């Protein structure tokens, strides 16, 4: 039995929802989900045998649009390939440290070959809808793997910088046409005494609406959240100027804040995703 109150407080700071906690106290999944935090320091310790296969099984157990399974993952464990991948993915050292770097890819190549086998045109594969389907399937699968890893006591960190140098990463991983890396997932044992704390999220009215979308409630929640996050950045000695609104607005200020990813549409077309 886990007391969920401190977990909810950590997750929301000033804006935790009112919940009849006792009704959920027996559940073992909620504490795991509520305690999630990205881990960026890993021990040089191998994963137990079978971990990759179990994470794969968890990933494959996610729902998939029409069961099309429009994703693939490349598991990188070879230290030198992983180091190269780390360099391409924002030169983030935790990728080198982690024993396992999973590169999750949108994959329409299998459907292309099924179409050829069935002598059908596969023309829908050239539409943005199919890329989006693949992106959604990929993210759902990855999150299952992430939760599975955390349930085994492992730490994870997603790596969006896998889109910083998509051509080079595709070459490093031998990705065929109609396959593109969407993000990575570093997996490993957190260093002892890893000090990262749970990062607060928006109070629920900021993004959970009842029946219709409520912009006033959303904006009030953002104001509350900014106060929480100012305190969080200070307490964590994070080098973030201002609050969440400022940090986030800067992140989307212009194409230069996309760190090379502003050319993604062109690259998707180049890799065989039609995007009509
Ligand atoms: C798709 C995606 C890409 C991410 N890319 C990176 C990354 O390249 N480097 C990094 O340090 N963290 C990355 N993160 C982690 C986020 O920064 C992190 O999830 C967020 O700040 C919330 O913190 P938490 O995961 O500890 O709750 C990414 C997260 C997601 C979902």
Which of 193, 67, 216, 41 has the alpha carbon at shortest distance from 141?
67
**Closest approach atom of ligand 1 to CA 162:** 8
Pocket lining: 127 vs ligand 1, CB cutoff 6 Å? no
**In the structure, what pLDDT confidence band is assigned to residue 63 with cuts at 50, 70 and 90?**
very high
For atom 8 of ligand 1, the residue with the nearest CA is: 159
pLDDT tens track for 153-190: 999 999 999 999 999 999 999 999 999 999 999 999 99
pLDDT band, residue 148 (cuts 50/70/90):
very high
Q: Cβ(86)–Cβ(120) under 8 Å?
A: no
Helix, strand or coil, per DSSP, at residue 184: strand
Q: Is the CB–ligand 1 distance for residue 229 below 6 Å?
A: no
Specify the pLDDT at position 241: 86
Tell me how far the alpha carbon of residue 40 lies from the centroid of ligand 1, in angstroms: 10
pLDDT band at 2 (very low <50, low <70, confident <90, very high): confident
**Closest residue by CA, ligand 1 atom 30:** 158
The protein residue with its alpha carbon nearest to ligand 1, atom 20, reads 38
Q: What is the chain's mean pLDDT, rounded?
A: 96
Burial of 191 (0-12, 13-18, 19+ CB in 10 A): middle
Which atom of ligand 1 is nearest the CA belonging to 161? 8
Residue 135 CB less than 6 A away from ligand 1: no
Q: What domains does the chain contain, in order, with CATH numbers?
A: 1-35 (no CATH), 51-194 (3.40.109.10), 198-259 (no CATH)
Q: Measured from the CA of 201, which atom of ligand 1 is nearest?
A: 27
Put the strands of the sheet holding 71-76 in their side by side order.
71-76, 100-107, 179-188, 155-159
Among 164, 158, 177, 136, residue whose Cα is nearest residue 274: 177
> Out of 55-59, 124-128, 171-175, 230-234, which region has the weakest mean confidence (pLDDT)?
230-234
Check pocket membership of 230 for ligand 1, CB cut-off 6 A: no
Is 161 a pocket residue for ligand 1 (Cβ < 6 Å)?
A: yes
* Owner of token pair 């971990």: 51
Q: Residue 6: which residues within 8 A CB-CB, separation 6 or more?
A: none
The span from the CA of 212 to the CA of 164, in Å, is 37
């Amino acid at each position: 039995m886990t007391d969920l109150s401190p977990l909810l407080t950590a997750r929301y700071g000033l804006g935790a929802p009112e919940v009849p906690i006792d009704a959920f106290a027996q559940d073992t999944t909620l504490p795991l989900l509520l305690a999630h935090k990205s881990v960026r320091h890993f021990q040089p310790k191998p994963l137990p045998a079978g971990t990759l296969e179990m994470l794969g099984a968890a990933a494959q157990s996610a729902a998939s649009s029409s069961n099309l399974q429009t994703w693939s993952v490349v598991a990188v464990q070879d230290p030198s390939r992983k180091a190269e991948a780390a360099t391409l993915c924002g030169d983030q050292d935790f990728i080198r440290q982690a024993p396992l770097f999973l590169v999750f890819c949108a994959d329409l190549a299998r459907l292309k070959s099924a179409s050829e086998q069935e002598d059908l045109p596969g023309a829908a594969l050239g539409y943005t809808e199919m890329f989006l389907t693949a992106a959604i399937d990929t993210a759902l699968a990855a999150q299952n793997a992430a939760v599975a890893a955390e349930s085994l006591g492992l730490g994870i960190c997603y790596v969006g910088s896998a889109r910083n140098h998509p051509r080079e990463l595709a070459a490093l991983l031998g990705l065929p046409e109609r396959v593109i890396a969407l993000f990575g997932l570093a997996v490993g044992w957190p260093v002892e005494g890893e000090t990262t704390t749970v990062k607060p999220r928006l109070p629920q009215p900021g993004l959970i609406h009842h029946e219709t979308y409520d912009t006033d409630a959303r904006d009030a929640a953002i104001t509350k959240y900014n106060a929480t996050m100012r305190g969080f950045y200070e307490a964590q000695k994070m080098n973030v100027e201002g609050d969440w609104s400022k940090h986030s607005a800067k992140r989307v200020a212009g194409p230069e804040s996309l760190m090379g990813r502003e050319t993604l549409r062109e690259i998707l077309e180049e890799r065989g995703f039609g995007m009509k």
